[in-house]
Amino acid sequence: MTIKDIARLSGCAVSTVSRALNDHPDVNAETKERICRIVKEYNYCPNRNAKLLKQTSGKTVLLIVKGSANLFFTPILEQIQSAAGKKGLSVTVSYISETDNEVSEALHLCEEMKPIGIIFLGGNICIFRKCFDRINIPCVLCTAYAGKLGFANLSSVSVNDFLGGKAAARKLCELGHRKIGILSGDYKSAGPFCERFGGICETLSEYGITDVENVTEICEFSFRSAYEKAWKLISEHGDITAVIAMSDIMAIGAVRAFGDMKLKIPDDISVIGFDGLELADFYTPRITTFHQPVDKLAEITVKMLIDMIEHNDEASHILLDAEYVRGETVRERGVV
């Protein structure tokens, strides 16, 4: 039950319900009685966080960024801060490494800061599954899907990574590629890499390609790691004609490695990335990629959190589509 539900049941505006619950004198007695009757019937409890957001000067939101070297997060972070600032919120940013526990970090900072909400920019779903139940304030996970976890105070917004993986694999297969290598993060744990890998495998199986793990290298979220793993991939599988890199960072590292190996891109080998970094558009050759809608990710994240705080909205989960952006690292006319 939210304040919006009470408004619908009582036939009043949300603002009228809010004034009635706060005992404002400008709401007539009959309307106030009708609203109070619904509140009592449905055992509605006003949200303490909403009052904090409206009535106190301490309007701090905690933003935990997982991975200090993740260039994809930079524009999202900036836009989240901007959108939150326009709503009168103060954002405190905490950077952690890819291997740190974001939930433990949140619990620790909550004791010190007493934030009214938390935004997680990136995160490991397995960690949330194990220990998120200790957090009881509104939270939003941005860039990873949390719909399967079932926490009432955890919303999420991300691209549909499974469909993105399928689309990347299908694009290469339609161009005639059958020997396709993969550069990925840890695809065996739940999260974006797992979803993308699952989508890739499903599409490749439709083309009779099943031994995917044998041509997959797990690398860190860095140019150097991707460079080293791409070199290893081609050294061990010289017949590969295309590589799916699960981030543009990895794609750029791979392209540099292939260039140093004297391979022509895309004539000898094609590379397709994921994220749509600005850097990828200015790299030479320009990276072919699947673009994530950064503006929407940031905008929806802030709106979700505010709706949970102000209106006690239930957790919701939104999946956006990644858009194929043609660059110069995939031979569009196919394999010859």
| Domain parsing of the chain, residue ranges | 3-46, 52-159+294-321, 161-292
pLDDT in the model for residue 55: 43
SS3 per-residue string spanning 116-173: CEEEEECCCHHHHHHHHHHCCCCEEEECCCCCCCCCCCEEEEEECHHHHHHHHHHHHH
Dihedral sign from CA coordinates of 241, 243, 244, 248: negative
| 242: its two tokens | 């295309």
Dihedral sign from CA coordinates of 38, 43, 46, 49: negative
User: Could you give the CA distance from residue 146 to residue 156 in angstroms, rounded to a whole number?
Assistant: 6
Query: How big is the chain by its Cα radius of gyration, in Å?
Result: 24
Give the predicted TM-score (pTM) of the model: 0.78
- 3-state class (DSSP) for residue 278: helix
**What phi and psi, each to the nearest 5 degrees, are found at residue 240?**
-65, 135
Q: What are the per-10-residue average pLDDT scores of the chain (336 residues)?
A: 77 76 72 82 62 54 85 91 90 89 92 92 91 93 93 96 96 95 86 91 95 92 94 95 96 97 96 95 96 95 94 93 96 73
Q: 3-46 and 52-159+294-321 share one CATH topology?
A: no
pLDDT in the model for residue 56: 41
> CB atoms < 10 A from the CB of 49, how many?
19
Q: Which fold has domain 52-159+294-321?
A: Rossmann fold (3.40.50)
Q: Which fold has domain 161-292?
A: Rossmann fold (3.40.50)
pLDDT in the model for residue 335: 67
pLDDT in the model for residue 195: 92
**What phi and psi, each to the nearest 5 degrees, are found at residue 17?**
-60, -45
Helix (H) or strand (E) segment spanning residue 290: strand 289-291
Helix (H) or strand (E) segment spanning residue 300: helix 294-311
Question: Regarding beta strands 180-184 and 317-320, do their DSSP bridges make them parallel or antiparallel, or are they unpaired?
Answer: unpaired
Q: Which CATH architecture has domain 3-46?
A: Orthogonal Bundle (1.10)
CB 130 within 8 A of CB 156: no
